[in-house]
Structure 1
Amino acid sequence: MSEIFYLIDLSDDMRKRHYHKVQRGKVVDFVIQLEVKVEREWKEVLRYDCSHGYAHRDRYNLKGKKKTDDLSLMDYKEALSLADRDINRNWQTYKERFLKGGYP
């Protein structure tokens, strides 16, 4: 089994948190999270994970309210790849929406 964890600073106030676990060549757990620093506190903006036994995406607003999108038609490896691509391509847009009070 191998586990990988890292943080990537996307800007002074944005970062991506990446974690995944592989067992026998198969992704068995993952969390990819976009975070923004608001008044010295890191807040979740967007999180892809499989914490409830299926792949999904949680989108947050400034008040901490959450909307969940079901990704259960994907296996964990596909969802992990989607999460990395999506955040890498769209983090600036997600930041703008979040800071204006909307959902990414």
Structure 2
Amino acid sequence: MMRQAVIILAAAMAVSLAAQARQMPSFSQFDLDGDGLISEDEYVSHQTGTRRASESEAIAKFTKFDLDQNRIVTEDELYEAVYAAQAERTGTSVSAIDLADSQ
């Protein structure tokens, strides 16, 4: 019974990660100058240029991504914020502790 639970949990994690990978934005599409960082201007320019958000919406999103509030978003910050938002939206977040507890 316990082994089946672990297998089911692992399969659910694999499906969730695959779905998230398809929805994960490419960091380079926002890093317009290629310096490895996303400035607020770069993010707003991308979002308004592709008509995905108004300027105020883009600034609000950027603020959420800028986890340390230094007005620059790193690749880690972007992916951490996107994963957190996806996990919150889908309720599919599984931690290593959850996996260990199920064994």
Q: TM-score, normalised by structure 1?
A: 0.30
Larger Rg: 2
The structure whose residues are more often strand, as a share, is 1
